[in-house]
Amino acid sequence: MYGKSELRDDYQDVPRPVGAMARDLADGHHIPPHEHRRAQLIYGTTGAITVTTGHGVWVVPATRGVWVPAGLTHAMTCAGAVAMRTLYIEPQPSWHLPTAPTVVSVSPLLRELIEDATRIPVEYDPRGRDGRVMELLLLELAPRPVPALHLPAPRDNGPEALHRLCEAIREHPGRRWTTPRAAAFAHMSTRSLQRGFAAATGMGLARWVQQAGLVHAVTLLASGTPVTAVAAELGYATPSAFTAMFRRTLGVTPSAYFADRAP
């Protein structure tokens, strides 16, 4: 369709500051942990993408992308069919782009620029029309404050018991992970768990459990699961209770989160 390579390695050493790749991925498609020399904007015009790094987990719908700095190991998984449109950018200090993974709001203009960039030849004319498109794209790429669905990972040097607990919560987000239950799972006292968990993740246990549930909910919603089924799986008494929590946390309803414009 686009006549360009779908291999990320083919964009790392091109003689231009920006390389744009289009790739259509199926629901559930997983790209295992890897890294590359260039920074990357991971973005999909459909579905939702879960990006996992040592810093934590981000889940983004089609109104947002995840910025991954150069050299950072990351993995990604698709929820729903994802039309991935990704950018590989040569790090340049003068561009003032993020040095840590972060969420980028994708405005309608930025979306169209990204789509256009995937059709531009790899060795585009930097002084011609294509070069101007890439320049404007970089200007529009500046991160904007948006409600980010981020699940921070425990620090690498944190207790192994907390790493196991976080994995268990992510695998079973619908369980009632009360402090006593979580403490028993981790073989810790409730007081030690509360202090240790906040120190290791920067977030209290209750909020982390809620965020883990939201990560799971967004992946289900992106795959077409009805809100009623998602609410039931996460243990909410009614869909309206789940929707209220979703809006309170992310600022929009589940349907608006996947709408074709930023909230």
**pLDDT score, position 146:** 60
pTM for the model: 0.81
pLDDT over 70 percentage in the chain: 95
Backbone φ/ψ region at 238: left (φ over 0), alpha (ψ -120 to 50), beta = beta
pLDDT tens digits along 3-45: 689 999 999 999 999 999 999 999 999 999 999 999 999 999 9
Count CB-CB contacts under 10 A for residue 229.
Answer: 12
pLDDT tens digits along 99-117: 888 888 888 999 999 999 9
The per-type count for the chain, helices as H runs and strands as E runs, is: 9, 10
Strands 30-34, 56-60: pairing kind = unpaired
Provide the residue ranges of all domains of the chain, joining segments of one domain with +: 8-140, 154-257
Which CATH class name applies to 154-257?
Answer: mainly alpha
Backbone φ/ψ region at 130: left (φ over 0), alpha (ψ -120 to 50), beta = alpha
Question: Quick check: 230 pLDDT over 70?
Answer: yes
Of all residues in the chain, what percent are helix, strand and coil, respectively (each to 5)?
40, 20, 40
- Higher-pLDDT residue of 95 and 174 is 174
Q: Which long-range contacts (CB under 8 A, 24 or more apart) does 243-247 make?
A: 245/210, 246/214, 246/217
Looking at 3.40.640.10, 2.60.120.280, 2.160.20.60, 3.40.50.620, the CATH number of the domain 8-140 comes to: 2.60.120.280
Query: 220 — phi, psi (to 5°)?
Result: -70, -45
DSSP β-bridge partners for residue 58 = 51, 150
Return d(Cα 177, Cα 164) in angstroms, integer: 14
Return d(Cα 24, Cα 115) in angstroms, integer: 13
